[in-house]
Structure 1
Amino acid sequence: MMLRPRWIGALVFALALAAGFAALGQWQLERALESGKAVEAPSETVLPLAEVAKPDGPITDKAVGQLVEFTGSFVPGDYQLLDGRLNEGKSGWWVVGHLNLRQADGTEAALAVARGWAPDEASAKSALARLAAEPENTVTVVGRILPDEQPEVPQDKSNPTQMRTVGIGALYNLWTGVDGMDVYSAYVVQRGGSDGLDAIYSPPPIAQTELNWLNIFYAAEWIIFAGFAIFLWYRLVKDAKQREDELREEQLREQELAGLGASAGKVE
């Protein structure tokens, strides 16, 4: 049945049609990749913190990783150590401080600042002691703003204040003088190290690409059409064969009935 010239020709046409649909699908897919919009990483241009983020609320996706600048004063007694922090693949310690900065309306807001990294606890504690001994002077800080991290339960039960993540809620409970004060739900990694601390490696987020989903949808449609062209040919051949089989069976029944009638006439 399928080897008849008529259906072979139909198959060639269906394959050519499917190939054309597949080519259109590939073209639409290439268009989707070429026209994909690159989501640019935050600018490395340093912006005032007030233009990028506000306290008492999460920072926007656009703000994550932005370099910011602000002026304030570190609270000497509000430094915390964070262990298990990687710095270019090496595990060590962060020293995180509490900085108060003045807002445009004259009120103060609290902000967590990661000041640097140390390879071991002793070095971190030594640097923390030096920073805590500094007078509460006004300083200008440049760094990369990052979102609040989820707090973790301390692994060492004998040290309930042990921290591994920059959880603003946990830090808030340890800071002094913050009752009623606005607090940033984010932290800043200070650019450059502090006395006795290495700079924390904090690269900008990797730029991502947003695909053109409309073109991808069209590409999927063309692939479906290509498959349907082959299926349509198969269905037409199957239906034609079924009709021929039914016609053949009907002819056989008519011949059998005719034969039975002839036999009955001879008997009479």
Structure 2
Amino acid sequence: MLRTLFSPRLVGLHLLVIGVLVAFILLGRWQLGVFTDSGHPRAAADPAPVALTDLSAPGERVTTDEIGRQVTATGTYDSSAQLLVADREPDVAAPGGRASSGAGFWLLTPLNLADGSTMPVVRGWVASPDDPAVDVPVGQVNVTGRLRPPDQSDAVQRGGALPTGQVATVSTAELINLWNGALRDGFVVATQQTPALSATPVAVPAPAVGAALTWRNLAYAAQWWIFAAFAVYMWFHFVRDAVRSNDPESQPET
């Protein structure tokens, strides 16, 4: 039996099947990887900055297509109405939970535009309300940043009331009751400013789009592995027939 299994013809068959199995398994894994990666969000087109007043109008909701867009705005800050958004890291992660070690404040300042509307602007992050960067620039400013949707007003559950001048979320519904003027929806996270930003910039992600899973690639992966199983099945039958044909005991008596 061993002599038959290791005959030149069957050795060639063994090597061919091993090569086929390796190739088919790797092809299946490749298609599975394509299927898995297809569901990951990917970077969307990031158009050049557009004037905020050209993108939307006061009273309009921020749309999905507008979230993450780079916008520019020119106006003056209202220092008397600035708020500190408590328990925030220097990023735009969704709020939640109690203050953690290292959490500070976003500087949320109303920017009064020439058309009479007001846009909430996050000018940066500070570790303490006593940070000198809290001071608001005087006069006209030019701001470039990314547009973000408003937080839900109940997104953060706190154990007690915040001090005067602090809020837990950047909520349009809440700011309407705190600020005067025609308030625009959402808020702008400033990335550049003239005069220059003095606080730690808040990291804000570029827009991303979700992707649908490509089920066809999963089917291709299963197909390659079925081919591999079929190759093993055929190899087994070829080897079995070869062994039987060379086994005297399996030959019919004459």
TM-score higher than 0.5:
yes
Distance 1:100 1:225, change over 3 A: farther
Structure number with higher helix proportion: 1
- Alignment-derived partner of residue 48 in structure 1: 51
What letter matches 2:84 in structure 1? L
- Alignment-derived partner of residue 248 in structure 1: none
Task: Kindly indicate whether the alpha-carbon contact (under 8 Å) linking 2:119 and 2:183 is maintained by their aligned counterparts in 1.
Answer: no
TM-score, normalization by structure 2: 0.60
- Alignment-derived partner of residue 147 in structure 1: 149
1:93-137 residue CA offsets vs partner (Å, 9 max, x unmatched):
22211223355xxxx43311012333312236x835x56xx5xx5
- Alignment-derived partner of residue 253 in structure 1: none
Task: Kindly indicate whether the alpha-carbon contact (under 8 Å) linking 1:144 and 1:188 is maintained by their aligned counterparts in 2.
Answer: yes
- Alignment-derived partner of residue 113 in structure 1: 121
Q: CA deviation at 1:200?
A: 1.6
Q: Secondary structure at the match of 1:149?
A: coil
Q: Calculate the aligned-residue CA RMSD, in Å.
A: 5.0
Distance 1:59 1:52, change over 3 A: same
Which residue of the other structure, out of 218, 223, 226, is the alignment partner of 1:224? 226
- Alignment-derived partner of residue 173 in structure 1: 177
- Alignment-derived partner of residue 248 in structure 2: none
Task: Kindly indicate whether the alpha-carbon contact (under 8 Å) linking 1:156 and 1:162 is maintained by their aligned counterparts in 2.
Answer: no
What letter matches 1:173 in structure 2? N
The percentage of counterpart residues that share the same residue type is 24
Distance 1:59 1:159, change over 3 A: same
Task: Kindly indicate whether the alpha-carbon contact (under 8 Å) linking 1:148 and 1:166 is maintained by their aligned counterparts in 2.
Answer: yes
User: What is the alpha-carbon distance in structure 1 between the residues aligned to residue 204 and residue 74 of structure 2?
Assistant: 22
Indicate the larger mover: 217-226 or 17-26: 17-26
Distance 1:155 1:228, change over 3 A: farther
TM-score, normalization by structure 1: 0.57
- Alignment-derived partner of residue 59 in structure 1: 63
1:163-216 residue CA offsets vs partner (Å, 9 max, x unmatched):
243223222222124xxx352223332524979942424355397896983673
**1:86 aligned onto 2:93:** no
Higher alpha-carbon Rg: 1
Give the aligned length. 224
What letter matches 1:186 in structure 2? F
What letter matches 2:131 in structure 1? S
**1:200 aligned onto 2:208:** no
- 5 Å-filtered alignment, 1:12-31, equals 17-25=20-28, 28=31
Q: Secondary structure at the match of 2:199?
A: coil
Task: Kindly indicate whether the alpha-carbon contact (under 8 Å) linking 2:24 and 2:228 is maintained by their aligned counterparts in 1.
Answer: yes
**1:95 aligned onto 2:107:** yes
Task: Kindly indicate whether the alpha-carbon contact (under 8 Å) linking 1:83 and 1:163 is maintained by their aligned counterparts in 2.
Answer: yes
What letter matches 1:185 in structure 2? G
Task: Kindly indicate whether the alpha-carbon contact (under 8 Å) linking 1:58 and 1:186 is maintained by their aligned counterparts in 2.
Answer: no
Unmatched 5+ stretches in structure 2: 92-100, 242-254
Q: CA deviation at 1:57?
A: 1.6
Task: Kindly indicate whether the alpha-carbon contact (under 8 Å) linking 1:152 and 1:163 is maintained by their aligned counterparts in 2.
Answer: no
